[in-house]
Amino acid sequence: MLDTGGRPAIRGTVLVTGASSGIGRATTMHLDRLGFRVLAGVRKQEDADSLSAEGSERVVPVFIDITDSASIEEAARRVEEIAPLGLDGLVNNAGIAVTGPLEFIDLDRVRRQFEVNVFGHLAVTQAMLPLLRKRTGRIVTMASMAAWFGTPFYGPYAASKHAIRAFSDALRLELAPWGLYVSIIEPGSIDTPIWEKGYDLAKDTIESLPEQGREMYAEEIRAGLGSIERQGRRGIPAEKVAEAVASALMSERPRARYVVGKDAQAAIFAKRFLPDRLVDALLRRQMKLPKRNSKRNES
């Protein structure tokens, strides 16, 4: 963490889940450059090798599947072997984006969304808390501006981010008596592979819809995908999010939430202070969706 003069003390040990790409990888490398020992959570050997090659000797890959309890238990044992004095930070970052119209989406895919983006983070947090308590460590969890919006065709993703925000708010109050800090990061559009995966997944979703679903939603899904793709091209670098994570880990009094990106700041402001009807209209326009009642006689 930081000393009172704002200079980095010799830094502690931080576990980052989902470290193989995107925000997780950027965070791993940023913390490494700041002098932290980073336990980089990965699932594949090639990702471990890639991180080791890019980072310094302080980057130590740890294999973990946050949806597998046995994998989490083994990772906790490995973390304790590496850092027997405890963890200074946990960055819950691993995530996926499930897309599709809620009327037809396969519920197993929705469950998978929550297993990764919500239950997995909670399971890892529970497993690492004994080590975090030893060092009065920090917990930083990746939320999203999507937590504020039920964006059409991204309902499962938005719901998962809303849930993890609520979990983090409760956890922050529960752990406060022991001096542990809990923060969330709420980025806007970020140049990250998660949206490439979400784009491909949504295309697959269109193909998997029943005929009625394709007739009803395919055009709108394509329009929405185009909007998300454009946002991704304008997204800020993942390194900007990594800087916010570092601030949450190192500040003497970290914030409860860090909003990253001008689009996130503007969107959250709009959601808080504008009427829902106006926000809905703005979303429809942005995603090029049809107006209310425009298909009333087609169902």
Q: Which residues are part of the catalytic machinery?
A: 157
Which residue type, as a one-letter code, is found at position 94? A
121 in Cβ contact with 166 (< 8 Å): no
The DSSP symbol for 289 reads: P
3-state secondary structure of 60: strand
Distance set, CA 109 to CA 202, 204, 269 (Å): 12, 12, 31
Alpha-helix runs per DSSP H in 22-119 = 22-33, 45-54, 69-82, 107-114
Please tell me the distance from the alpha carbon of residue 140 to that of residue 92, in angstroms, as a whole number: 6
* Tokens linked to 22: 């995107």
Are 37 and 58 in contact by the 8 Å Cβ rule? The answer is: yes
- 292 in Cβ contact with 220 (< 8 Å): no
Name residues whose C-beta falls within 8 Å of residue 131's C-beta, 6 or more positions apart in sequence.
Answer: 76, 79, 80, 83, 86, 87, 137
**Backbone dihedral region for residue 35 (phi beyond 0: left; psi -120 to 50: alpha; all else: beta):** left
As given in the structure block, the two tokens for residue 107 are 């519920």
- Nearest Cα neighbor of 286 from 220, 232, 221, 224 is 224
